[in-house]
């Protein structure tokens, strides 16, 4: 028998196979890791979100973070990145990030989701001279943090729970004559509809049962601090995350994942700084954080019996809702070319919207939309989704303005038929139909042959 040194080749092969099997066995379950990086610009960038402001930040009220959760199961790795930004990065930046982390960290699927705070710098799809320094630095830091997390994956347990709390209202009020009015603030907390009070919480523990990550999926615009605020801030999600981390203790990382708040404002919205805006921001964040912490503490995490991560990604093509030439001319006339350039507005058509559906352990399904979906979509997804837990991620992997429902678009109003609404009517419904179909498909509910053409034991 040929030998290598004094070791027979057969013995080497057997040892290699054995070690490979051991490695595969060790990695067959769910594994997870977290990381967090500060992405607050060191420069005074123009703030995003209020057309009347468009002024640079002067100081920092609270840091802007990117939080990273990496999950591994069945040979696939999912990275969820939550950003304290008004929107996710442009698609060119996301493509570079995806390529980088696929090579460095074997990330199969990347979800980059913004909280939609209006206390963060403007992000554009494209820049004439490339992304600004703060954005390049943030992307580099995120890539490094994903690599760090992927390098320290550990055995994990997972569990889900839901709670209910209201911190906001529907900001589109339908008048008696059928017209739609703007309902910005609601300090007396008058009931409105539709609004989704559901707080969906995913808790991930390490193998010893110690909390590692808490994902909070909820729908509400983070706009307690208003247009006179000139400080970098994550708004109420910063407080929510802080409350949850303190309540669970240890080294847990809390992730606020924005849902479908296209028509949902906090009760205290766009509050002047002089009218206790920071105090009201804190009240809003604490109210949500306490409910999320209560739910998280009640969750009993488990080792998944059949750990798996499946996903489907698609680029959906939508028409611009408005006549392109007339729309652009009206924008320039109303806003002025300088303001339009600062806002990074787009009139490109067709619109190429990247959407993703993720299925974790056949029990948790995620749908993403690259824009601002109305809350009806979140509730519809939860009703139609064929698995127990349905998460809805807005502002993820791109940004294409508002996604109103067909009904809301027919009534009009801000976000339903305004300059910030670009996609054609029915775009959100198409995304949701696609996500439901793909989830059923990943569950193996569709066959390759018609039922009446399959072999039957009764024939």
Question: Residue 112 is part of which domain span?
Answer: 29-442
In a domain, 20, yes or no: no
Using 50, 70 and 90 to split pLDDT, how confident is the model at 347? low
pLDDT(116) > 90: yes
Domain-embedded: residue 22: no
Token pair belonging to 36: 């967090």
7 has a pLDDT exceeding 60 = no
Instruction: Look at residue 143 and tell me if it is in a domain.
Output: yes
pLDDT tens readout for residues 209-245: 999 999 999 999 999 999 999 999 999 999 999 999 9
Antiparallel, parallel or unpaired: β 309-318 and 351-360: antiparallel
Could you tell me where the beta strands, DSSP code E, fall in 341-417?
A: 351-360, 364-368, 372-373, 389-393, 402-403
Task: Please give the Cα distance from 315 to 33 (Å, whole number).
Answer: 29
pTM: 0.92
Question: Is 411 a member of any domain?
Answer: yes
Q: In what order do the strands lie in the sheet with 364-368?
A: 309-318, 351-360, 364-368, 389-393
Number of domains in the chain: 1
Label residue 12 by pLDDT band (50, 70, 90).
very low
pLDDT value at residue 346: 54
Asked, for residue 394, whether it belongs to a domain, the answer is yes
Domain assignment present for residue 217? The answer is: yes
The answer to the question of residue 17 being in a domain is no
For the beta carbon of residue 53, count every other beta carbon within 10 angstroms.
16
- pLDDT, tens digit (0-9, with 9 covering 90-100), for 288-329: 999 999 999 999 999 998 899 999 999 999 999 999 888 888
| Residue 56 within a domain | yes
């Amino acid at each position: 028998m040929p030998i290598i040194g004094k070791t027979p080749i057969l013995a080497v092969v057997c040892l290699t196979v054995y070690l490979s099997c051991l490695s595969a066995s060790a990695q067959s379950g769910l594994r997870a890791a977290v990381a967090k990086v500060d992405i607050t610009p060191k420069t005074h960038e123009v703030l995003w979100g209020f057309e009347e402001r468009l002024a640079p930040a002067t100081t920092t009220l609270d840091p802007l973070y990117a939080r990273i959760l990496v999950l591994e199961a069945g040979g696939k790795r999912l990275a969820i990145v939550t950003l304290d930004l008004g929107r996710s990065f442009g698609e060119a930046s996301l493509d570079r990030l995806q390529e980088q982390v696929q090579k460095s960290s074997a990330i199969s699927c990347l979800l980059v989701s913004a909280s939609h705070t209006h206390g963060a710098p403007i992000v554009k799809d494209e820049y004439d001279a490339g992304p600004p320094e703060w954005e390049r630095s943030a992307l580099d830091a995120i890539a490094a943090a994903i690599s760090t997390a992927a390098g320290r994956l550990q055995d994990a347990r997972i569990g889900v729970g839901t709670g209910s709390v209201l911190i906001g209202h529907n900001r589109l009020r339908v008048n008696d004559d059928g017209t739609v009015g703007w309902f910005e603030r609601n300090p007396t907390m008058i009931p409105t509809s539709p609004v989704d009070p559901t707080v969906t919480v995913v808790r991930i523990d390490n193998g010893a049962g110690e909390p590692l990550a808490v994902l909070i999926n909820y729908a509400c615009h983070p706009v307690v601090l208003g247009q006179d605020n000139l400080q970098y801030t994550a708004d109420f999600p910063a407080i929510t995350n802080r409350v949850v981390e303190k309540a669970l203790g240890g080294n847990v990382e809390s992730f606020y994942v924005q849902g479908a708040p296209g028509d949902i404002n906090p009760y205290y919205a766009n509050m002047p700084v002089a009218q206790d805006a920071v105090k009201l921001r804190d009240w809003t964040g604490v109210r949500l954080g306490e409910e999320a912490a209560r739910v998280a503490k009640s969750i009993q995490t488990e080792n998944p019996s059949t750990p798996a991560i499946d996903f489907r990604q698609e680029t959906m093509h939508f028409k611009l809702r408005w006549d392109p030439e007339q729309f652009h001319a009206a924008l320039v006339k109303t806003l002025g070319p300088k303001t339009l350039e600062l806002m990074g507005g787009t009139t490109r058509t067709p619109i190429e919207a990247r959407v993703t559906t993720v299925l974790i352990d056949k029990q948790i399904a995620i749908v993403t939309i690259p824009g601002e979906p109305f809350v009806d979509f979140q509730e519809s997804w939860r009703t139609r989704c064929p698995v127990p837990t349905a998460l809805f991620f807005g502002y993820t992997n791109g940004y294409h303005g508002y996604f109103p429902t067909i009904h809301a678009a027919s009534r009009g109003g801000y976000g339903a038929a305004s300059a910030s609404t670009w996609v054609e009517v029915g775009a959100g419904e198409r995304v949701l139909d696609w996500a439901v179909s793909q989830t059923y498909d990943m569950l193996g509910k569709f066959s390759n042959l018609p039922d009446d053409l399959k072999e039957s034991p009764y024939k």
